[in-house]
Each structure stands twice: as C-alpha cells, then as structure tokens.
Chains A and B, each alone.
Chain A
C-alpha cells in the first residue's frame, strides 16, 4: 500500500479524542490541509466518538470559513482499521484537493485563492 509522503499521521485511540484546538493548531503549525479518519459510523469502539468528531470537524470548518480559510482544507472520512487501500485512496484524494487549493501560505504570506492546477 502506498500513499503520498506528505501525510503526517497523528494516532489517537478514537477520533472522539480530537478537539477543535487540535484541528486549528495543525494549521497554525504549517499544515496545508487536515483530515480526520474515523471508524465507520455505527462501528465506533467507544459508541459515538466518531460522531462527536464529525460535529467538531463541521464546527471547525465553519470557524475556518469565517476567517477566510477555505473549509475544504479540513475534512472527515470514515473507514475501518482494516481498509488499508481505502486509506491510501483517501490520502491521495485529500492531497490532490490540497494541491489544487494551493499552499496554505504563499511566500507573500497570504493564502492562495482556490485555482485550477496547471500541472
């Protein structure tokens, strides 16, 4: 299984552990995009951790939009631990999306407006 090398993985026991501050901090620390990969809905080992994550991701997306950041830079996906190929697929999909959106910060220090990738 191969997935792009630009992904930095942070493991948590359950996506319910992910707080809004973690999502924001990732952008503060230089991420161009963030995604949360949680278990399939209904399969959460801790009942509803992934549902809480879903709400928090939605909230954080709205927060980002209100400060002029494209909310597409933050996404939530659901898959089971055994779905290796699906993970790779998600990683590629997210990478492609972020490439299209451009770096979070341009050299000028400003974010790129969403644009079609030339190459």
Chain B
C-alpha cells in the first residue's frame, strides 16, 4: 500500500491563508491504512483547524468528507455538485490522489495534507515500512522474495557491500535505528530455499528505463477498455 504521514499543521495553515471555505478531504485507500489521511484523520484535522480558527477570531468555514479513493474519477465526481461551496481543498490522499483532484477541479487550489512516503507494509499497528520501489521489472523470483533495489541502500545487484555489519546496513549508525542489510536477508533466504547458486554469477544489468529514470510511466490494457 502507499504509505504517507500527516503534514505538520503549521504547514497546512500556511497554505490556507486567505481562504475562507475549506474542505478537508480524506481518502479511504492507502492513507487510511497508515492512519494518515482516512476519514478519522480528516475529522481530526478539520476539528483542529476549527479550533485554531476559533481562537484566531477568523470566520472560516471548515468541513470534512472522505472518499472511497481519490485516484478514480468516479469517486472524485461525487464532489461535483459540492465544489462551489469551497474556496480550497486540503486533500489527505497520496500524491496521486491530490493530483487527480487538481486535474478534475482545475479552478480550485488543492493542497496536500500528507507527505507521501513509500510503497510499504504494516509491520505492526503503528509501524509501516517500505518494501517496493516500483522499478518496473520485478526480480523477486531471483532474490528469494526480498528486493535488493529497495532494501539495499545502494540498490546493489551484487551485494552486500563492505559496510554490512552483523546483518545491519552501514547507514544504521547515521539514521539512529537498525536498518537490515537487504543482501544479508537475501543471502539467508536463498540459503533456506536452497538457491545459493545465485551468488556465484554476477547479476545481469538493470534496465532503468522501466523505472522513474525512464520518464513518467503508463500501463494500458486494451482488453479492459470500453
């Protein structure tokens, strides 16, 4: 799922200066899973903005709603009749949803309410970690289901590097928490699966045109188009 975290309130307030009628728009997709931008979070943000409003003596009108997703036009279209009631929208969707809102409602400023961080998983309630870099050409079959592009800080194809120590990445000391050495994990997994032969061969090159480096990407399925 796409994981995000809430932007600082001060930042959101700075976007809203000069706007009177505000919609806080949550999304029940990925940002709800990581408790950053779902209905619950939209309610809390709207309430906090109203409290700030009260004490600043402003007469802003702040409302909240949440959509099933903001990355599908059919859900964004549900707002069509309501958009005239607002001067600005704080969208709590991931970057994709915020942009899609802006593309549909071109007359209204759509401000991001969260920082979109990564494609990841829920390790436990309250802890989300990154797993996938969307490189466009998945090699998980060759690495025992552990991704070297994402989990190696140097996205090595022939890891580990000389900084791997006790199963931890050399950046652990810099970021103040233990970061697993992705290649250590891959090695242990391949051993378990009896596939350690992968290490003998230098890995094939990576074609980055399929990733972000190749430019904005697109997928088309003609068979499902109307």
Tell which of A19, A63, A105, A108 touches B9, judged by Cβ atoms closer than 8 Å: A63
**Total interface residues in chain A, CB < 8 Å:** 19
Nearest A residue to B8 by beta-carbon distance? A66
Q: Are B57 and A24 within 8 A (Cβ)?
A: no
Contacts of A111 in B (CB 8 A): 55
Q: Is the CB of B51 within 8 A of A27?
A: yes
Q: Is A109 an interface residue (CB 8 A)?
A: yes
Tell me the count of chain B residues lying within 8 A, CB to CB, of chain A. 17
CA distance A20 to B56 in the complex (A): 22
- Verify A21–B52 contact, CB threshold 8 A: no
Q: Quick check: B48 and A63 within 8 Å, CB to CB?
A: yes
Q: Is B115 an interface residue (CB 8 A)?
A: no
Q: Is B87 an interface residue (CB 8 A)?
A: no
B108 CB within 8 Å of chain A: no
* Interface contact B56-A110, CB-CB below 8 Å: yes
Pick 29 A–B contacts, CB within 8 A, sort by A. Answer: A19-B40, A21-B40, A21-B44, A21-B47, A24-B47, A25-B47, A63-B48, A64-B48, A64-B51, A66-B8, A66-B10, A67-B13, A67-B48, A67-B49, A67-B51, A67-B55, A68-B52, A68-B55, A68-B56, A69-B51, A69-B55, A104-B55, A105-B54, A105-B55, A108-B57, A109-B55, A110-B55, A110-B57, A111-B55
Q: B interface vs A, CB < 8 Å? A: 8-10, 13, 40, 43-44, 47-52, 54-57
Listed in ascending order, the chain A residues whose CB lies under 8 Å from chain B are 19-21, 24-25, 27-28, 63-64, 66-69, 104-105, 108-111
